[in-house]
Amino acid sequence: MRSKLLLFVSLFLVFAMALSACQTATPPEEPPVSDVDCGAASALEAEGAYQVPAPIEGCFNVAFVYVGPHDDGGWSQSHDEGRLWVQENVPGVHTAYVENVAEGVDSEQVTRSLARKGFDMIFTTSFGFMDATETVASEFPEKDFVHVSGYKFNGTNFGNLMGAMENIKYLAGMLAGSRAKTDGNPKIGYMATFPIPEELRLGNAFALGVAKTCPECTIDVRFIHTWHDPTIEQEAAKSLFDAGAQVVMTGADTPAPAIAAPEGKWGITYDYRHNCTHDACLSSMYWDWGPMYKIEIEKSMNGTFAGEAVYFDTYEGGMGLLGFMQGEEYMPGVADLPAEDLQMIQDELALFMSGAKDRFALFTGPITDNQGNLVLAEGESLRQVDLDCFEGPDTPCEGGVGMYWWNENFTAELP
Amino acid sequence: MNWIEIFRSGISTGTVLLIAAIGEILTERSGIQNLGVEGMMLVGAMAGFKIAYQTGNVWLGLLAAIAAGGLLSLAHAVVTIHFQADQTVSGLSLTFLGTGLALVLGEGLTGQVAPIIPRASVPLLSQIPYLGQVVFSDHNLLVYFGYLLVPITWYYINKTRPGLHLRAVGENPAAADTLGVNIYRTRYLYTFVGGCFAGLAGAAISVAIAPGWYSNLTVNGQGWIAVALVIFAHWNPWRAALGGYLFGVLRRFTLDLQGPRMLFGLANPFFFNTNLVFFLQMTPYLLTIIALVWGSSAARKKRIGSPAALGTAYQRGERGR
């Protein structure tokens, strides 16, 4: 009786695991004898809680490590969209991914296991994967590693990749300001995730944009301390709307501001171009990773990858403001804005796209913080090191400006 | 800071936890512990959203969510009641099973827009100052369902004959069996009912409170909170309601606290240092731990606590465990 029971329980567990594995497991296709099909699905093998894919011989194998599900509707999905683009557009490359990887020890094991299995290049796409990627990169000097959204690199086989989303947030700020001014309620909300330099940078860029189209507008802030939690994001968006905001911009993944927006109010979503599907959504500030990946992968394929810090600007591609890029249409809440405001946004976008304006031009004085201090005097600009840094002793931007300030139109206090 | 909005939103988001916790209370009162609430909620959230999206009818979505949660819980029932396997292990694997199923069947649903549960106000009652605005106006219909669910479940468990049978099966199945109560049928029934409520709770997220499908992040651990809430509530629906709503209010309160510069005439520390909010966000979980510790000692004194037969399989004719 007892052994029967054990057998049943173990069978049930195996069944459960097999089913939960199904999310990525498709039967591997037999490669054609003459020509290797690099677009085929990877064979998967369970390692701990993760399904680790195997490379395909004869292809250049690239693996991606995601912090969330590949279809989270936000950050991780924007990366998966990029991965699929690479699979489609870079011949001879086979791509695979591991999803839902926890930051810390787990990510190190997953990354190491991918390297050991023979992947030639590995992208790790969450800030918290940085140290793990650095460790594994030192163990596999013949393979290349790219960490997205961090700041470490080793000059040989471990580089980082990030883009100037601040430019897009700035344009979104102009859009939000125009909308709030037109609706006659000059209040705007910013739903920030964590009190880190990146979130203050993006918030300040947004605020500078708001000031451009709506000088009298003020910005309220809520920190939600998560990148992705539908319920909390919903609550934070409501909290901002209840406090009077007309437009809410988010730094997190879900389209919560657009869903929570009461009749006649608006939200702006982030990360993934296809998450701006509600009528109350003005636009999505999205990533377009595919072409950026292609550049890095081709460097690695022809041996010129050098483990650098790559920080692409808008003119290099990799990002967009939904409705304003080529071939896109305005969302319903944008179409009825004053034509001169829309023209102004288009003109600014054109400057960014041509490279005539970049992130440094965006953060150029005079800029005053909300305490009345002059952050940047007329003509002064931030340096690259200031963008991702809180000024203080022993920081990269020591003695410089850093990012620990709120632009003058914020009503909120610094975190 | 708008207290009416904070309480309103606490009640609305707390409803998810309330529904899931009441389902689990019914299941556990029959002596079956089902730790798979998270998995059942996820399956319910997926099924509710998917059917609502495909048919354009949110009520069909709710039905699908209830059926999906109930069906999944039957797997747990068969394993633990029929085969008498370990309930903890089976419940945990049910979470894996439910998560996996929801992810497979939910592929391609992200970014879609489905109809959501309509909102309504209760006539007359919503005119009451403050209370009416918080409790009876402009909530989605599931919130009102939650109000009805609490007293009905309490009455059912404590004042009716089937409720007496339910308690007897959970406290002393051998005695209940000699009185002619069918232990297996009772346990199957309440495990199924618990699963139905968990599925409904999941749909309450995906088609009412935070509409949309975001893979396994949709439910994001709320199933585990519901399991903890059952213990916090001492298997009592009223306390489960209190705990669920309190949890919801705190979740919203920690966000609104960052807004005002002054609080009760003093400088608001959470305005000037939002990092303090990290600690506030811990409070619901801390409260749960405190309640667990306090609850176990109070349970010894007052003999309230978990159903005596919780977690043990019943086998007819077997004695002296």
Q: What confidence tens digit (pLDDT) does each residue in B161-209 have?
A: 999 999 999 999 999 999 999 999 999 999 999 999 999 999 999 999 9
Residues 55-114 of B with CB under 8 A from A: 75, 79, 83-86, 89-90, 93-94, 96-97, 99-101, 103-104, 106-113
* Residue predicted with more confidence, A73 or A121: A121
Average pLDDT over residues B33-59: 96
- B100 neighbourhood in chain A, CB within 8 Å: 16, 19-23
Please state, in angstroms and rounded to a whole number, the distance separating the CA atoms of residues B212 and A254. Answer: 9
Pairing of strands A121-124, A158-163: unpaired
Residue-wise over A378-401: b if at least 16 C-beta within 10 A, else e? eeebbeeebbbbbbeeeeebeeeb
Q: Is the pLDDT of residue A363 over 60?
A: yes
pLDDT at residue A381 tops 70: yes
Mean pLDDT for the stretch of residues B278-286: 76
pLDDT confidence band for A194 (50 / 70 / 90): confident
Nearest residue, CB atoms, A5 vs list B83, B108, B281? B83
Q: Which residue has the higher pLDDT, B134 or A21?
A: B134
% of chain A surpassing 70 pLDDT: 92
ipTM at complex level: 0.78
Judge whether B209 and B20 are in contact, CB under 8 Å.
no
What residues does A287 pair with on adjacent strands?
A319
Evaluate whether A166 touches A285 at the Cβ level (below 8 Å). Answer: no
> Across all residues in chain A, what is the average pLDDT?
89
DSSP string, A33-61: SSS--TTSPPPEEEETTEEEE---TTSEE
**A54: which residues sit within 8 A by CB, 6+ positions away?**
A42, A43, A44, A45, A96, A117, A118
The Cα of A5 is separated from the nearest Cα of chain B by a number of Å equal to 7
A8 pLDDT tier (thresholds 50, 70, 90): low
Q: How many CA atoms lie within 13 A of B274 on its CB side?
A: 21
Residues 6+ apart with CB under 8 A from A326: none
Task: Tokens for A139, please give them.
Answer: 């163990």
Per-residue tokens: B48: 């509710």
Q: How far is A169 from chain B (nearest CA, A)?
A: 21
**A259–B210: do the CB atoms touch at under 8 Å?**
yes
pLDDT at residue number A29: 46
A positions 182-201 inside 8 Å of B (CB): 195
Q: What is the pLDDT of residue A1?
A: 42
- Check if the beta carbon of residue A86 is closer than 8 Å to that of residue A298: no
Closest Cβ opposite residue A230 in set B90, B210, B256: B210
Tokens representing B1 are 């800071």
pLDDT score of B22 more than 50: yes
Stronger pLDDT, A51 or A110, i.e. the higher one: A110
Q: What is the model's pLDDT at position A148? A: 94
**Token pair recorded at residue B33:** 């512990």
pTM equals: 0.83
Q: Which tokens belong to B313?
A: 């399989």
> Residue B303: its pLDDT value, please?
63
Find which of A219, A234, A259, A284 to mutate to test the B interface (most B CBs within 10 Å of its CB): A234
Q: Which among A196, A241, A198, A193 has a CA at the least distance from the CA of A220?
A: A241
Mean pLDDT, residues A410-414 taken together: 83
Question: Does B294 contact A at CB distance below 8 Å?
Answer: no
Q: Please indicate whether, in this complex, the C-beta atoms of B259 and A239 are within 8 angstroms of each other.
A: yes
What pLDDT does B95 receive?
Answer: 94
Kindly list the domain boundaries of chain B, sorted by start residue: 3-120+134-302
Q: B222-232 and B277-302 are packed helices; what angle lies between their axes, rounded to 10 degrees?
A: 40
- State how far the alpha carbon of A250 is from the alpha carbons of A268, A270, A318, A335, in Å: 7, 6, 19, 21
Other CB atoms closer than 10 Å to residue B84's CB: what's the count? 16
Note the pLDDT of residue B302: 65
CA A113/CA B51 separation, integer angstroms: 39
Q: How many Cβ atoms are within 10 Å of A99's Cβ, its own excluded?
A: 23
Q: Residue B278 CB: number of other CB atoms within 10 A?
A: 13
Q: Which residues of B touch A242 (CB under 8 A)?
A: 2, 5, 256
pLDDT tens, position by position, B220-248: 889 999 998 898 888 999 999 999 999 89
Identify the CA nearest to A174 among candidates A138, A133, A215, A119.
A215
- From chain A residues 196-255, the ones with a CB under 8 A of any chain B CB are 220-225, 228-236, 238-239, 242-243, 253-255
What fold, for B3-120+134-302?
ABC transporter involved in vitamin B12 uptake, BtuC (1.10.3470)
| Nearest-neighbour CA in chain A from B276: distance (Å) | 9
Beta bridge partners of A376: A367
Segment A293-343, tens digit of pLDDT? 999 999 999 999 999 999 999 999 999 999 999 999 999 999 999 999 999
Averaged pLDDT of chain B: 89
Of B100, B111, B277, the CB nearest to A20: B100
Res. A24 pLDDT band, cuts 50 70 90: very low
Tokens representing A271 are 């990360």
Dihedral, CA of residue B89, residue B93, residue B98 and residue B101, to nearest 10: -160
pLDDT digits (tens, 9 = 90+) for A116-170: 999 999 999 998 899 999 999 999 999 999 999 888 899 999 999 999 999 999 9
**How many percent of chain A have pLDDT more than 90?**
70
Give phi and psi for B249, each to the nearest 5: -65, -45
The strand ranges marked E within A244-340 are: 247-250, 266-271, 281-287, 309-312, 319-321
Range scoring the smallest mean pLDDT among A2-16, A71-85, A126-140: A2-16
Asked if B100's CB is within 8 angstroms of A239's CB, the reply is no
Peptide bond into A366 cis (omega under 30): yes
Q: Does B153 touch chain A (CB under 8 A)?
A: no
- Hey, are the CB atoms on B252 and A235 less than 8 Å from each other? yes
Higher pLDDT, A100 or B263: A100
* Residue among B213, B211, B235 at smallest CA distance from B13: B211
Structure-block tokens of residue B2: 């708008």
Mean pLDDT, rounded, for A228-238? 91
Residue with the two structure tokens 């109560």: B181
The H-assigned helical ranges of A55-183 are: 75-89, 105-117, 130-139, 165-183
Query: How many whole angstroms separate alpha carbon B9 and alpha carbon B222?
Result: 16
How high is the pLDDT of residue A48? 75
Residue A320's region, left for phi above 0, alpha for psi from -120 to 50, else beta, is beta
Measured between its terminal Cα atoms, the distance across chain B in Å is: 57
